[in-house]
């Protein structure tokens, strides 16, 4: 019985590790599906909801969110603890952003951060955190 429980724990740990260690690329076209939370808000609710349905295009040196096109000086993707980034950059917590406590994070300096959330991404724009799904690589 004890071996069965140990095997189940090891399987669960391996399954959890595979969920975030699978190859993942931020590059491509994404569609904003929903607003998942808020940080310090600088615009009205209508403007925040206006980004839903818009595209996000992430290239080797650019991050385009709707009509906002930002050229990145540096693009680095690393697995990181998300709470310090969220608090420092957005004055928000993990639950506010709807991201895991530790995940793959794209630092698109100076354009901001993009967080992996399963097969989707989360990013902040104008005080809102948005979840987006891949349209094409």
Taking only the tens place, the pLDDT of each residue in 72-117 is 999 999 999 999 999 999 999 999 999 999 999 999 999 999 999 9
pLDDT, position 109: 94
Is 77:114 a contact under the CB 8 Å cutoff? no
Is 73:121 a contact under the CB 8 Å cutoff? no
State the Cα–Cα distance between residues 18 and 75, nearest whole angstrom. Answer: 24
Q: Report which of residues 12 and 132 the model is more confident about.
A: 132
State the Cα–Cα distance between residues 117 and 4, nearest whole angstrom. Answer: 31
Q: Which residues pair with 120 in a beta bridge?
A: 117
Q: Give the predicted TM-score (pTM) of the model.
A: 0.81
């Amino acid at each position: 019985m004890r071996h069965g429980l140990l095997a189940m724990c090891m399987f669960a740990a391996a399954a959890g590790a595979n969920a975030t260690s699978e190859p993942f690329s931020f590059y491509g076209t994404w569609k904003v599906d929903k607003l998942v939370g808020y940080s310090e808000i600088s615009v009205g609710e209508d403007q925040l909801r206006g980004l839903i349905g818009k595209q996000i295009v992430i290239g080797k040196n650019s991050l385009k969110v709707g009509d906002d096109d930002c050229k990145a000086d540096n693009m680095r993707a690393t697995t990181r603890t998300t709470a310090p980034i969220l608090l420092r950059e957005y004055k928000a917590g993990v639950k506010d952003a709807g991201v895991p406590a530790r995940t793959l994070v794209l630092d698109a300096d100076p354009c901001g951060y993009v967080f992996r959330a399963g097969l989707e991404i989360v990013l902040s724009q104008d005080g809102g955190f948005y979840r987006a799904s891949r349209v094409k690589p």
